[in-house]
Structure 1
Amino acid sequence: MEYLLQLAASPAAWVALATLIVMEIVLGIDNLIFISILTNKLPEQYRTKARRIGIGMALILRLGLLGTIAYIVQLTTPVFEVLGKAFSWKDMILIAGGLFLVWKATSEIHHSMTPQVEEKTDSVTSKVTLGFAAAIGQILMLDLVFSIDSIITAVGMTEHLPIMVIAVVVAVMVMLLASEPLAKFINDNPTVVMLALAFLIMIGMTLIAEGFGAHVPKGYVYAAMAFSATVETLNIVARQIREKRQAALVK
């Protein structure tokens, strides 16, 4: 208790907490985009449930990983070497997660550009259940990758476990609050889906690069995402204005 009171009285601890919360929220954006795109492919009645489960699992994984910080720190220890490049478990997890993200985003782009023929089935319920289970499984896989990245970042920024826990919980709560509006926005604007998938490919490539030891400043990645999102927002506004004018002419 005395330790917590000392932390609460420390301005440096509050600065570290605020900084870490912002960092965790930023890192959670990638996770949230993936969850939103994936759950939007489910029947509408299952989407909210899937999003909540996905974000809930993200919180559980992050808190669980915080409880094993000593082990998590060891993930950065090299386990083997190839052509003079040492690889740790963290590197391999980032590479695997990045490859999965690139594959998934590419598959979704292909799916969105290829006309789909509805298949007749004797059991719609079983098909939906399988789709729901598959979505949760894929969300869990990426939750693990993003959670490990998130916790290692937290460990690198502060040594105080309570600060890490608070930052993670706050960041995940923000993700939970933002999930519905973000998913609705993506669903209502099909062109945004393609942009978001492109973001996921970029994020996947970034994870792969970092797994191979090439550090990519997050600021560059998010600046590119922000610029693209701004351009797409202008396109959406222009399209809405054009549609209103056309509707007015029809009347």
Structure 2
Amino acid sequence: MEFLASPELWIAFATLLLLEIVLGIDNVVFISILAGRLPEHQQARARTIGLSLALITRLLLLASLSWVIGLTAPLFTVLGQEISGRDLILLLGGAFLLGKATYEIHEHLEGSDHGGAGKKAASFGSVIVQILILDVVFSLDSVITAVGMVDELFIMVAAVVIAMVIMLVSVGVISDFVNKHPTVKMLALSFLLLIGGSLIAEGLDQHIPKGYVYGPIAFSIFVEFLNLRAKSRRKRQEATPVHLHPTYVKDGQQRAGASTGAGASTGPATEASTEAEPVK
């Protein structure tokens, strides 16, 4: 009841929910790209399993907050830089994300199959393992963000669960849209490069505000949306037949019209001349 009567808790819940959705989009994009390499009849199942694993991972991390908080304790020092368990996970996850996104971009640009059979080369098990690895990284980032924003475990769990339900509902639409438009897929892979770099920076204790990362991403999405609208409009214009009105009359019609006009103009004159002859 205290939650229902406290505006501060409602504001914290709404803010955390929005942030969890934004952080979850990274997860959805990566899962969509990986699932796109599977046969079509397995893609939906892979996306559902991937997001379900992401939800389970987040809930397990929330249930062991003391362990999560303990991950921030330094384990060792390298070149004067203290490295904690959280830093290690972010560094390894960021490196994996950079490598995977780079590989996907190379396949997309230089692959000999041009998106054909190569997309179905991956096995279902390998895709699920890759999804699980990134689920751990994204879940850790998400949970640490939640811990830093609110103190109530109930609010954290509610925000995480609702955000993941929204992702489960929208993952099919997002995946189809990303895989249908090659430029959007390339943009999404570029986002993963950016996010991987930010994870590595976070692992080195170089904090990058989320707005600096997601602001350019949002602007790029807006520009790509305008490009897609312009492309769709051009296609509609090309598909619409153009009816032109004839500017010139055909030669036969022009001669017929001229002779008709001449006959009409000479007719009254001839009659007038025949009527005028008796007078002369």
Same fold by TM (over 0.5)?
yes
Q: Could you tell me which of 225, 239, 243 is aligned with 1:247?
A: 239
Q: Where does residue 184 of structure 1 map in the other structure?
A: 176
Q: Could you tell me which of 227, 232, 241 is aligned with 2:224?
A: 232
Q: Could you tell me which of 50, 55, 60 is aligned with 1:59?
A: 55
Can you list the C-alpha shifts for 1:181-226, whole angstroms capped at 9, x where unaligned? 1001111111111110000000000000111111111111111011
1:168 corresponds to 2:160:
yes
Q: Could you tell me which of 75, 82, 88 is aligned with 2:84?
A: 88
Q: What displacement does 1:114 show? A: 2.0
Paired residues for 1:74-223 under 5 Å: 74-117=70-113, 131-223=123-215
Structure 1 unaligned runs (5+)? 119-127
Aligned length: 239
Paired residue secondary structure (1:116): coil
Can you list the C-alpha shifts for 1:71-122, whole angstroms capped at 9, x where unaligned? 100001111111111111111100100000000000001111123359xxxx
- Taking structure 1 as the reference length, what is the TM-score of the superposition? 0.90
- Taking structure 2 as the reference length, what is the TM-score of the superposition? 0.81
Paired residue secondary structure (1:81): strand
Paired residue secondary structure (2:37): coil
Distance, in Å, in 1 between the alignment partners of 2:182 and 2:228 is 10
Distance, in Å, in 1 between the alignment partners of 2:41 and 2:192 is 25
Structure 1 residue runs of 4 or more that deviate by more than 6 Å after TM superposition: none
Q: What displacement does 1:58 show? A: 0.5
Q: What displacement does 1:7 show? A: 3.2
Greater Rg, structure 1 or structure 2? 2
Q: Could you tell me which of 10, 19, 43 is aligned with 1:14?
A: 10
> RMSD over aligned Cα, in angstroms?
1.9
Can you list the C-alpha shifts for 1:20-66, whole angstroms capped at 9, x where unaligned? 11111111111111111111121111111110000000000000111
